[in-house]
Amino acid sequence: MSEVHSRVAAPGMLLGREDVAAVVAQACPGSAHRGKRVLLVIPDSTRTAPIGMLFRALFDELMGSVAALDILVALGTHRAMTEEEICVRLEITREERQGRYGRVQFFNHEWDNPAALKPLGVIPRDEIHALSGGLFAMDVPVTVNRRVDEYDRIIIVGPVFPHEVVGFSGGNKYLFPGIGGAEVLNFFHWLGAVITTVGVIGNKWTPVRRVVDRAGAMVRTDKLCLALVVAHGGLAGVFAGTPEAAWDQAVDESARHHIVRKPRPFHTILSCAPAMYDELWVGAKCMYKLEPVLAEGGELIIYAPHLKEVSWVHGRLIRQVGYHCRDYFLQQWDRFKDMPWGVLAHSTHVFGQGTYVDGIERARARVTLATGIPEDECRAINLGYRRWQDIQVEAYQGREAEGVLHVPKAGETLYRLEAGV
């Protein structure tokens, strides 16, 4: 196992700038980067993390030595960020952007622009068969943002959380799908959907993680990862090493902070989406992280008055497909196989578990939107609807003993049942 430099906060405490600076100085000293071009790969605004603290520490350590220190936002298939939004993500002012940080270039990943991508090769069908546990046997092309060839080192900076597709986010996932092309993204999202969200989320070593790490190994540019564990509004741990090694240790710390166990399922869950989720494509994490404690026949309400879009990028396709359970697609595969598999996967993640027998779909539980998305659109995409104005949030609080759960900031903490429940 590669060496990992780390700091973990004591119980009830958080790490500060000095802790981060110490890890950065150990893991990537400026003296080792003299004359090199460095690309920082960071998450967009849909991930909670003190990216600004890490950016400042890296800038202070490296800028006096490197030939370039630039930013690439790992969008996956999310919408591009404006320069102002990237400044907010980096926690810098417009004046700092024009002055102190003026040499730093900002780039958005362009997953849907072939000219912005470089082919890395193919993961052959026999490997895919082994990596997927026998679920698939197909060649999977791998492409990546071609900017990686312009730099001597990639530094991945991002948090680790339980994740509905891969098990836990972070590590090489900031490369694939973060700065990768559609083919591998569509494949492993559908692989995760076939396994099911409940079967993947919060598990460390999953078939999807094996595929992501296999694709990550195809990126030959030198890589360092600063894997972050965020808790209680701050930084609980930072782990610096290879994407695989840093992620490995960060997951164990994340599991301590981001998995909550409950003694019983809930028939009603009010899952409140934070403002950073500005579309259902990402706001649906408020479903994924709570599905394991949603009782059969129950209702999960995504409460987000600010959320008015299904998806900025994929809305047309989602409206065409709608939200359905996994078996709805598997039983009609010839009808859906030519749709982007990532969209199909998202559809199943939001709808949750269910059955499709003799042309009839039955949901295990209901998912209802109390958002700015109109009722006719919610019905058209096969989700429930409630007027957000009619929901009194306080009426859902303090009622766990009655089978009602209120989650004030949903999307990053995984809820599970206690063992044996």
Domains of the chain: 5-259 (3.40.50.11440), 263-417 (3.90.226.30)
DSSP symbol at 45 = T
Q: For 286, phi and psi rounded to 5 degrees?
A: -70, -15
250 touches 229 (CB < 8 A): yes
Distance (Å, rounded) from C-alpha 371 to C-alpha 243? 37
Q: Give the SS3 label for residue 64.
A: coil
* Helix runs in 73-230, H state only: 83-90, 94-98, 125-131, 182-195, 197-200, 207-216
Helix (H) or strand (E) holding 240: strand 234-241
10-residue averages of pLDDT along the chain (421 residues)? 91 95 97 97 94 98 97 93 96 95 97 95 98 97 97 98 97 97 96 96 97 98 98 95 98 97 98 96 96 98 98 95 98 97 97 97 98 98 98 98 98 92 64
- Scored b (16 or more CB within 10 A) or e, 174-193 reads bbbbbbbbbbbbbbbbbbbb
| Beta partners for residue 240, in sequence order | 5, 226
Confidence at residue 237, expressed as pLDDT on a 0 to 100 scale? 98
Distance (Å, rounded) from C-alpha 341 to C-alpha 339? 6
Confidence at residue 421, expressed as pLDDT on a 0 to 100 scale? 64
Contacts of 88 (CB under 8 A, 6+ apart): 45
Distance (Å, rounded) from C-alpha 80 to C-alpha 75? 7
